[in-house]
Amino acid sequence: MIDSQLKAQIDPARLPEHVAIIMDGNGRWAKQQGHLRVFGHKHGVRAVRSAIETAAELGIGYLTLYAFSTENWNRPQLEINALMELLVNTIEKETPTFMLNGIRLQTIGNTSQLPSNCQKTLEETVEKTKGNNRMTLILALSYSGRWDIIEAVRKIGQRVQQGELSPQDIDESVLNSALNTSAYPNPDLLIRTSGEQRISNFLLWEIAYSEIHFTPVLWPDFGVEDFCNALLDFQSRERRFGKTGEQIQTP
């Protein structure tokens, strides 16, 4: 539940349609308390639940969470195993909440690389929740922006080779529709926790005009108030899309 005073500050007419989050800082959070990194990932689940609930309660249409990058496969095997186990357990545990709150689960990324039990749980939950239409929750798993762009270019190359498409007809919409994210609007707001100010190969194509909010809060501590503060920051921005401020104020 969002505190009513905080909620009242957010303009419901100017909410981002799509929020994407780079959930970072679990390892440092654990270390600060003298624990192993995995302890941070476990506590990160609470923040995941809170972000999903907050987004759904406010009426945000799409929430994308960067849960595991292509580059994260280079982490120690024990940490990877723990993250995969946590993923399966969390999805299984949260499915009733998804059903109750009208949340549709989708994934982006090279999910065929995930352990088979993860793939199975994900497929089942995607299928079970496909009719839900209050909010779409997109988990980026074994995902990287460059991977998706390369895959898209391959698909387009095949169409050209088969004579279905001529190179001159390749435009933004052709590339868009070849991406894993083709069914979703581009993120209006990108949040990164933990104080790092980088993109780490997240939605490279899609964030061309996203507003970016960096916060020093480590992911396990990222709560409702932090999410609302990111939304207030978003609402204080003037999105110009190349135009002048005057054009935006008097269209």
- Cite the active site residues: 24, 72
Does residue 26 touch ligand IPE according to CB under 6 A? yes
Do 220 and 31 contact (CB within 8 A), yes or no?
Answer: no
CB of 40 to ligand IPE, least distance (A): 6
What is the helix (H) or strand (E) element at residue 191, kind and residue range?
strand 189-192
Structural contact between residues 207 and 187, judged by C-beta atoms closer than 8 angstroms? yes
- Partners of residue 105 on adjacent β-strands: 137
> Which candidate, 201, 203, 151, places its Cα nearest to that of 181?
203
147 forms part of the interface with ligand IPE (CB under 6 A)? no
Among 69, 70, 129, 229, binds ligand IPE (CB under 6 A): 69
At its nearest, how many Å lie between ligand IPE and the CB of residue 66? 4
* Identity of the residue, 193 or 229, whose beta carbon is nearer to ligand IPE in the bound complex: 193
Comparing CB distances to ligand IPE, the nearer of 200 and 235 is: 200
The residues, any chain, with a CB within 8 Å of residue 40's CB and separated by 6 or more, are: 25, 26, 27, 28, 29, 30, 31, 218, 219, 220
Distance of closest approach, residue 54 Cβ to ligand IPE, in angstroms: 18
Q: How far is the CB of 234 from ligand IPE (least distance, A)?
A: 20
Contact predicate 184/108, CB 8 Å = no
At 170, is the secondary structure helix, strand, or coil?
coil
Which of 67, 156 has the CB closer to ligand IPE?
A: 67
Name the residue whose CB lies closest to ligand IPE: 27
- Binding-site ranges for ligand IPE (CB under 6 A): 22-28, 66-69, 72, 83, 194, 196, 198, 200, 219
- Binding-site ranges for Mg ion (CB under 5 A): 24
